[in-house]
Amino acid sequence: MTMLGDRQQLAYIASQAADARVNVELETEGMTLNIGPQHPATHGTLRIIARLDGEQVLWAEPSAGYMHRGYEKLTEVRTYPQVTALVNRIDWLGSFANEVPFILGAEKLMGVEAPARAQHIRTILFELSRIANVSLFLGDLGVQLGAVTPVFFAFRDREYVLNLIEGATGGRFHPNFDRIGGLKDDLPAGFIEETHSVMKKLRNFCDEIENLLFGNEIFQSRTRGIGVIPKDVALQYGLSGANLRASGVDWDLRRDQDLPMAWNKADWKVITHPDGDSFARCWVRLQEVRESTKIVDQLLDTLPAGPVMAKVPKIIKVPEGEAFVSTENPLGEMGYYVVSQGDQGPFRVKIRSASFNNISIVPWLLKGVYVPDIITILASLYFILGDIDR
Amino acid sequence: MLLITTKLSEGVFPLSSATDTTEAPRDERRESELARVIEALGANVVDSLLKPNDDMWIRVTAESWRATGETLKSLGYSYFCFLSAIDWMPSPFGKGEDDPTAPAVERDNTIKQGYTGGATRFQILARVTQPFSSLGINIKVDVDDNAPVIDSWSSVYAGANWHERETHEMFGIGFNGHPDLRNMYLPTDFEGYPLRKDFPLLARIVKPWPGIVDVEPLPGDDSEEGEAS
């Protein structure tokens, strides 16, 4: 594995090497530490097996699979509209965002495109799920470091967003709202005004978290220069989303991909950070929530009139073909490779979930870090268990 | 630039969708990119397919699988998206909706590979992307049915490590040179490979799918059914 000549990374490695030398001289005996599967500081049931030398990790291995539900197999006995109910449960904090790439893939194979209004509403709900998802991350981040206050703020303000999603779709966590050819329904009355006021609250929440957490000296010393991922390593492991952008890769599928969605109709920025450490990953996510609120505000103002559903047959049969569609989900690149053989259900669906790739870097990343940093590094990588195991 | 890169294998039927019109739009960015890839890979490419403004597919020989990964990486495809497999055998259980009391259903079990064709039941499917142009390429390779083993990509793309473990567990395909092919999800002594089509979905076997009971049409559904078919 090649390392970048980044000064910070080199200093970090040098300090680790110095510590390792001390340990060799003392000939300390190794010890295996099991973190999880049930542990307050893991999100769900991920188990980390770490071999320690003193306070330092010699090697660490995440053991996933406690929540494997076999969705790829289940899709093979479902029809296309039924699959959205399954994929909702992959990343359960940003459910609506999971439906979109699958529906877009099926639409691509069928040659159907959703009407402009449906594309706008899809994008709005997509960004609302991102805000709900990432705002919980920002609150949870504090808990991992022993700061309990931010999580209350996060739950309070996420509730506003969940209420909006519930108002529009009927489901707080699992909307199951996206249909091939458009959406199940139009937005409810009063949604636009309500959303504008909630977006204002969420921007306040971002300011609060920034003041409470990101400016905090303890937070900075626990995250700055910790868990550095160089750019080329991040790409090789297929890291995506904020984890990749925090390593200085200016790549966002919302901007760089030509999808029938409305992101290009709004004015927003792709946030990157050159450092690649835990702090950068958290900071990029915080800024992305701000950008998302801007996207939602602009799209609500430019919402086109018209139907929310294209004309599609009642019984959906997808023509033979293969398609890969991925979108920039709250956790990173979420994609579906759909193989159709002309039936009512897919022949094979490969679910490319973001957390699976994001967490596969953990054995590399945890080598040489100290035990307390395991938790902050995992927290900053941000994974959802359902998104790893599927 | 007149290199014709778009060709369909005999096994693939043309799409009947609206996107596949006779005057398909040109996609020069992908055309030149695919030509570059094919030139670099040379005789290793068995077949290739380009869908304008959509995606690119190539199929390579099994011997050149590792070299293909290295070449693609040197061509700027530095982002590893995923690696998995496809079992092209139609499921002997259909959609798991058969009436258990009725006589067994006759099914057409001819293997029909998708884009870029193929000759085997199992195919490895991988995707790598150029992060700055967002151009991705899907790479397929045939895996020998009798000895489903292929070279590992884990030393080319570090991220392939977990994906190959998953593929090994789910399809029973071995990877030469993989450091550690332990199971990720299933118990160590689990028998069978769940994502193979001949592995039954037990939930559908032990209890008939409730869908087969609901044969009564909903009131007023007749006209719409006619429209759909």
Q: What is the mean pLDDT of residues A349-364?
A: 89
Q: Is the pLDDT of residue B77 over 70?
A: yes
Q: What is the mean pLDDT of residues A263-285?
A: 89
Q: What is the mean pLDDT of residues A154-178?
A: 88
Token pair listed for B219: 């009131």
Query: Which is nearest to A369 in space by CA: A5, A33, A47, A141?
Result: A33
CA nearest to A344 within chain B: B95
Q: Is the pLDDT of residue B5 over 50?
A: no
Hey, which residues 176-205 in chain B have their CB within 8 Å of chain A? Answer: 183-186, 194-195, 197, 199, 201, 204
Helix (H) or strand (E) holding B63: none
**Range with the poorest average pLDDT among A138-142, B53-57, B106-110:** B106-110
Q: Is the pLDDT of residue B228 over 50?
A: no
Chain B residues with CB under 8 Å of A65 CB are 183-186
**Residue at A228: amino acid letter:** V
Q: What is the mean pLDDT of residues B70-82?
A: 89
Predicted ipTM > 0.90: no
CA A329 – CA A243 distance, rounded (Å): 12
Measured in angstroms, the CA of A160 and the nearest CA of chain B are apart by 34
pLDDT in the model for residue A160: 92
Band the pLDDT of B205: cuts 50, 70, 90.
Answer: confident
Please check whether residue A105 is in contact with residue A336, taking contact to mean a CB–CB distance below 8 angstroms: yes
Q: Is the pLDDT of residue B10 over 60?
A: no
Across the interface, whether the CB atoms of A236 and B82 are under 8 A apart is answered no
The per-residue b/e assignment along A228-261, b for 16 or more CB within 10 angstroms, e otherwise, is bbbbebbbbbbbbbbbbbbbbbebbbbeebebbb
pLDDT in the model for residue B210: 67
Band the pLDDT of B215: cuts 50, 70, 90.
Answer: low
CA A29 – CA A54 distance, rounded (Å): 8
> Token pair 């995707």 is at which residue?
B127
Task: List C-alpha distances in Å: B95 to A78, B148, B208, B216, B217.
Answer: 7, 26, 11, 20, 20
Percent of chain B with pLDDT over 70: 77
Chain B residues with CB under 8 Å of A112 CB are 18
Hey, which residues 126-185 in chain A have their CB within 8 Å of chain B? Answer: none
> Token pair 């499921």 is at which residue?
B91
At A362 the three-state DSSP class reads: helix
pLDDT in the model for residue A258: 82
Q: Between A88 and B2, where is the model more confident?
A: A88
Q: pLDDT tens across B27-48, in order?
A: 778 888 888 888 888 888 888 8
Token pair listed for A145: 């470091």
Q: Between A114 and B202, where is the model more confident?
A: A114
pLDDT in the model for residue A42: 59
Distance, CA of B141 to chain centre: 10
Percent of chain A with pLDDT over 90: 14
A56-63 sheet: strands from edge to edge: A31-35, A47-53, A56-63
pLDDT in the model for residue B6: 43
Please check whether residue A327 is in contact with residue A334, taking contact to mean a CB–CB distance below 8 angstroms: yes
Average pLDDT, chain A: 85
pLDDT in the model for residue A43: 63
Find the angle CA(A175)-CA(A356)-CA(A99) to the nearest 5 degrees.
20
pLDDT in the model for residue A337: 92
Hey, which residues 93-122 in chain A have their CB within 8 Å of chain B? Answer: 108-112
Q: Is the pLDDT of residue B229 over 80?
A: no
CA A39 – CA B225 distance, rounded (Å): 52
Q: pLDDT tens across B177-193, in order?
A: 888 888 888 888 888 88
Q: pLDDT tens across B105-161, in order?
A: 777 777 788 888 888 888 999 999 888 788 889 999 988 888 888 888 888 888 888
Average pLDDT, chain B: 77
Chain A residues with CB under 8 Å of B18 CB are 110-112
CA A358 – CA B159 distance, rounded (Å): 9
Q: Is the pLDDT of residue A24 over 80?
A: no
Q: Rg of chain A's alpha carbons, rounded to an integer?
A: 21
**Phi (first) and psi of residue B128, to 5 degrees:** -130, 155
Which residues make beta-bridge pairs with A146?
none
Query: Which is nearest to A356 in space by CA: A72, A34, A4?
Result: A72
Do the strands B122-130 and B79-87 form a parallel or antiparallel pair, or are they unpaired?
antiparallel
Q: Between B220 and A255, where is the model more confident?
A: A255
Burial level of A373, CB count in 10 A (0-12/13-18/19+)?
A: buried
Token pair listed for A58: 């010699």
Chain B residues with CB under 8 Å of A110 CB are 17-18
**Phi (first) and psi of residue A163, to 5 degrees:** -60, -40
CA B51 – CA B25 distance, rounded (Å): 9
Q: pLDDT tens across A102-134, in order?
A: 999 998 888 888 888 999 999 999 999 999 989
Torsion angle defined by CA atoms of residues A198, A203, A207 and A213, in that order, rounded to the nearest 10 degrees:
70
Q: What is the mean pLDDT of residues B52-80?
A: 87
Q: Is the pLDDT of residue A1 over 80?
A: no
Chain B residues with CB under 8 Å of A350 CB are 82, 84, 86, 125
Q: Which of A108, A235, A389 sits opposite B78 (nearest CB)?
A: A235
